[in-house]
Structure 1
Amino acid sequence: MSGRGAERILDLIEWLASRSEAVSLAEVVQALALPKSSTLLLLRTLVEARYVTRQTDGRYLLIRLPGEPSEANSGWGTILRVAEPILRETVAAIEETGFIAVLTDDRQVRYLNKILPMREIRYDRDIATQRVAHYVASGLMLLSGLTDQELETYLGRSIPTEDDPDAIAERVSAGRLEGYVANLYGRVEGAAGVAAPIRDPDGRIVAVVNISGPRERIANNLDRVTEATVEAARRASEELSRRIFKNGKTHGRN
């Protein structure tokens, strides 16, 4: 795309983001003073990229901004910007280490950030290394967001032979039911953690809040840590939905 074309499509996205309702091709042409043929091409480009949906009446509606999550785009940058301030507050209050984690396409856990508490003895982890999903609280919570078929595929292909698929499925089911996963005996000796889901407006799990620390300390304060983790995830979910819905936009699966 030429420099002028890139400028036009950015102008179009900004204008659509300021609209509270779907707009017609004629309205866009008039507002931006663009040729009809060029405007139609720009709109089609945005529809194909799933930034815009074309409704049955022929009008166009912006459904997400660049960086925001969708079925085709994980939107990790937006999730991190939304969730990190909330996580920082939670870490300061609970005095344990906090993470935002997501599930990659190959079903590994990726940590987007790490916030350490201001205390001498604290849990740390190398977030450059991805984790096997069912080995950590974050991964078990993220797996609970898969469909039954997707989870079955994961259990059939992605776990070492020494791991029990039925036991993993049971823990994932418990996470779905309870709305969080507490893992007091993780892969790192002496560490424990709790994870709760960040959901998009459609209820899909797009990330998790994870609070981790020394096992004894987490176990002795499990109710408090769990409550703080769940509340942080709830607030992050609300803020993500507010961001997606602002300016009257709707969010759906198109």
Structure 2
Amino acid sequence: MSGRGAERILDLIEWLASRGEASTLAEVVQALELPKSSTLLLLRTLVDGGYVTRRADGRYLLIRLPGEPSADNNGWGTILRVAEPILRETVAAIEETGFIAVLTDDHQVRYLNKILPMREIRYDRDIAAPRVAHYVASGLMLLSGLNDGDIEAYLRSDVAREDDPDAIAERVSAARSDGHVANLYGRVEGAAGVAAPIVDPDGRILAVVNISGPRERIANNLERVTKATVEAARRASEELSRRVMKNGKTHGRK
């Protein structure tokens, strides 16, 4: 796409994002003062990319901004932008380390960020390397968002069979039931953590908030840490949903 074409498509996205209802081709042409043929091509490009939907009446509606999550796009950048300010507040209040974590396509845990508390003794970890999902609280919570078939496939994988698939299944089921995971005996000696899900408007788990720290300190303050983690995830989910609903849709619905 030429520089002028890129500028036009950004102008179109901005204009559609400013409207609360679907627009006709004629309305777009008039507002942006573009040729009808060029405008139609731009709209078709956005429809093909999953950013705009063309309704049965021929009107166009913006359903997703670039970077925002969808059924085919994880939108990790948007999730991080939404959740990080909330996580910073939580870390400052709870004085333990905070992370936003997601599940990769090969079902490993990837940490998008790390926020350390302002205290001398604190938990730290290298977030560059992915983690085995069932080893950590974040992974157990993320696995609970998979459908039953994907969970069964994970339990049959080599990495799960090295441990106890039945025990992993039980912990994943508990995570799904409880809506959070507390892991007081993780793989890192002396560390513990709590994870809660960031969900989209349809309840699909997109990421998790994870608060971790020295095991004894987390165990002694487990109720407070759990409450703070769950609340941070709830706030991030609400903010993400607000952004999605502002564009006039939830996943899979007009």
TM-score (structure 1 length as normaliser):
0.96
Deviations, residues 60-82 of structure 1 (Å, cap 9, x unaligned): 11011111111111111111111
Q: Quote the residue 2:212 is aligned against.
A: 212
Q: 2:211 is paired with a residue of what secondary structure? A: strand
Deviations, residues 120-157 of structure 1 (Å, cap 9, x unaligned): 11100000111011110000001111111111122222
Q: Quote the residue 1:77 is aligned against.
A: 77
Deviations, residues 158-214 of structure 1 (Å, cap 9, x unaligned): 524321112111111111110000101101011000000001112111110000001
Q: 1:159 is paired with a residue of what secondary structure? A: helix
Deviations, residues 222-248 of structure 1 (Å, cap 9, x unaligned): 1111000000000111111112222x5
Is 70-79 or 136-145 further displaced after alignment?
A: 70-79
Counterparts of 2:10 and 2:244, CA distance in 1: 18
Matching residue's letter, 1:186: G
Counterparts of 1:96 and 1:63, CA distance in 2: 37
Question: Identity rate of aligned residues, in percent?
Answer: 83
**TM-aligned CA deviation for residue 253 of structure 1:** 1.6
- Structure 1 residue 183 corresponds to structure 2 residue 174: no
The 1:227–1:44 alpha-carbon spacing in structure 2 relative to 1, beyond 3 Å, is same
Matching residue's letter, 2:206: V
Q: Quote the residue 1:252 is aligned against.
A: 251
- Equivalences for residues 151-170 of structure 1 within 5 A: 151-157=151-157, 159-170=159-170
Residue 64 of structure 1 contacts residue 251 of structure 1 at CA under 8 Å; is this kept in 2? no
Gaps of 5+ in 1: none
Residue 140 of structure 1 contacts residue 175 of structure 1 at CA under 8 Å; is this kept in 2? yes
Q: Quote the residue 1:116 is aligned against.
A: 116
Matching residue's letter, 1:109: V
Q: 1:192 is paired with a residue of what secondary structure? A: strand
The 1:191–1:63 alpha-carbon spacing in structure 2 relative to 1, beyond 3 Å, is same
Q: Quote the residue 2:12 is aligned against.
A: 12
Deviations, residues 12-58 of structure 1 (Å, cap 9, x unaligned): 10010011101111111111111222111111111111111111222
CA RMSD, aligned part only? 1.2
Residue 196 of structure 1 contacts residue 229 of structure 1 at CA under 8 Å; is this kept in 2? yes
Pairs aligned (count): 253
Q: 1:109 is paired with a residue of what secondary structure? A: strand
Gaps of 5+ in 2: none
**TM-aligned CA deviation for residue 106 of structure 1:** 1.1
Counterparts of 2:47 and 2:153, CA distance in 1: 31
